Structure 1
């Protein structure tokens, strides 16, 4: 009952607002259509999937998306339709006053023909034409901004993920570096104190083992001499020496508080 009353009130306002001596058509972007037909026997229905059709002033029948009237004086039509998103397309058989209403948070992308009037009433655009055919394309500003905001959030999220990964990788690198430095310091301490370094048993000699062994054979019998000859790091040289001792290639000799390394003739 309330819905019917509201429709009647809207139609009365509509008829008072527009010139009732000519046919008029009002379309709201969401699909509500109200038309006042004067001295015409038919009218094309706008859009697709017509529903809730109400006709005041005449009996009618519908054929090929057109509505035909038995009475051709003053007829008012109200119905709901579906437009293609962002498109209002009207094709009527005669010239009439057409008004398209869209919210002011939409932007117009294309209008044909040029409107006879353009007004802002409240939060709506009232675009008026005096024509039989009109095409109007529009898009939502809010929708565009939402997409831009979503895209910005996506880039921010990607930036955060990359930053976290970089920081995490840097922390791992720093931790490994500290462990490596501490390990080298421990080995250096063992070298200075003469403490034996436990090495894994590997009977095969690698290139560094051979370099150290050749240096000793050529008369470099102190750790510093071997380091200078091979140009290997001190800790690496010391490990090679301990391995060669454990495998019996060389032996350690202490004399006058110094340590010398010589070839073990037993090997």
Structure 2
């Protein structure tokens, strides 16, 4: 039976910072690693993205990772292609990516993707983004890529799988049906893009949160310590009761929805 008790809404706290805002990234302190513990069923959304990219690239490719973060995902292409360039607006991310890069075939630079990107015409053979910006840099995709190449984006479309019914107040109802592809098309402004051959694939990534605390850690990722202290005080006891009533042997099952978007640059 679904527990209907309304929990404390941390998003109404005066110090709540919208995720992916400049202040939110600043509070991460240059570390974008998920801090909660969980298990995933495979393939994960990132695995699906990797497989998609891997099916197209070869040793002569130059590829661009938009919103590369620390570069861990980007590193996997270092031995498979001619050159990999990762860009991100967060300087701390780029510093970490360059310090740890495994090969000189990789380079990482700080770039504001909302401005003109510093690459020559017809340079890249593939462009992708793992949860990074879509509309901004892809407005230049036709210039910086060769003709008719693939553009790929993986974007989070919300988490549910019963999570929002179990913890009302702490988690709100899904604002948008992740299978509403017309909405997704409008959100990413496909009609304004100069790209062609758009396709949207919905990925349901199954995750098992390991402990009651992980429910809160996931919700409060990127928030400050003062807000977290309030959340733990107001919510943890109720979360523990709900968690242990509904968790499996693997943990509490939730579903992360992702949209895998592909398109192509113009042929000429």
TM-score norm. by structure 2 comes to 0.28
Say which structure, 1 or 2, has more relative contact order (CA 8 Å, 6+ apart).
2
Structure whose alpha-carbon radius of gyration is higher:
1
TM-score norm. by structure 1 comes to 0.28
Structure with more helix by fraction: 1
